[in-house]
Amino acid sequence: MRGLYAIVDVATLASRGLSPLAFADAVLRARPAALQLRAKESPPRETLAMLRELGPMCHRSGVPLVANDRPDLAVLAGCDRVHVGQTDMPIDRVRRIAPGLGVGVSTHTLEQLEAALLARPAYVAFGPVFPTASKKDPDTVVGIAAVREAYRRAAHANVPLVAIGGITRERGRDLVGWVDAVAVIADLLPPAPAEGAGPPVDDVLVEVTRRARAYGDLFALEPAAVGIGS
């Protein structure tokens, strides 16, 4: 995993009047490292339906599809991975009920990171690196220094590290070389208009693709990998 870990957040898109599928299609044109559906407030039936539509779209683009929180829905929809948090189903239990499903996990301290690495997940997310408005009750900001230490530990375990929380393209430049990917929600969208009607939906989706490609470009220019002992 390397580059943009794109998150299709249903609530964020609804606030902008955008279809999750149209948004995902725009992001997939940039060939991100992974695409996650985050549908915290959607009924399970609707979430499953969206996952089933996203699956063929992702697989045609060669992009892994990740379900958030729900390994049962991930299996039913044929997802590649499921992402769990610290209060969700433990990794070992996910593997017992879905042995073929890759599992990624969110961590918010170095102690949580170490515990997650022992379980050998498909990847480990670490953050929030910066203040974020995408979660109602965000964890404490970890900062870049902690990310660098997390990267050393994850690289030693040969597990990809994904930075989460408040990521923008400008902030992402400070993370290149210290993470394998960056998870992005809000910064894939252009700013919402202060008042009145915004630009046409098609123009917004073109901008989404442009922003997604810009994240890929950050990692395409990535310098030599940081040594474990650096």
Strands (E), 73-155: 81-84, 102-107, 123-126
pLDDT of the residue at 223? 55
Q: Who has greater pLDDT, 224 or 164?
A: 164
For the CA atoms of the chain, what is the radius of gyration?
Answer: 17
Integer CA distances (angstroms), 192 to 9, 54, 80, 168, 195, in order: 16, 25, 32, 16, 9
What value does the mean pLDDT of the chain take? 93
Q: 106 and 86 in contact (C-beta within 8 Å)? A: yes
pLDDT of the residue at 17? 93
pLDDT tens-digit series, residues 48-75: 999 999 999 999 999 999 999 999 999 9
pLDDT of the residue at 133? 74
pLDDT tens-digit series, residues 71-101: 999 999 999 999 999 999 999 999 999 999 9
Question: Which of 101, 87, 88, 173 lies closest to 130, judged by CA?
Answer: 173
Tokens representing residue 92 in the block: 């070992």
What percent of the chain stands above pLDDT 70? 94
Residues whose CB falls within 8 Å of the CB of residue 229, separated by 6 or more in sequence, listed in order = 152
In this structure, the strands spanning 81-84 and 123-126 are unpaired
Residue spans of the domains in the chain: they are 3-220
Q: Flag whether pLDDT at 134 surpasses 80.
A: no
Mean pLDDT of 117-144: 89
pLDDT of the residue at 166? 95
- Please name the CATH architecture into which domain 3-220 falls: Alpha-Beta Barrel (3.20)
pLDDT tens-digit series, residues 141-198: 999 999 999 999 999 999 999 999 999 999 999 999 999 999 999 999 999 887 767 7
Report the distance separating Cα 124 and Cα 213, nearest Å: 23
Q: 141 and 108 in contact (C-beta within 8 Å)? A: no
Q: Flag whether pLDDT at 226 surpasses 70.
A: no
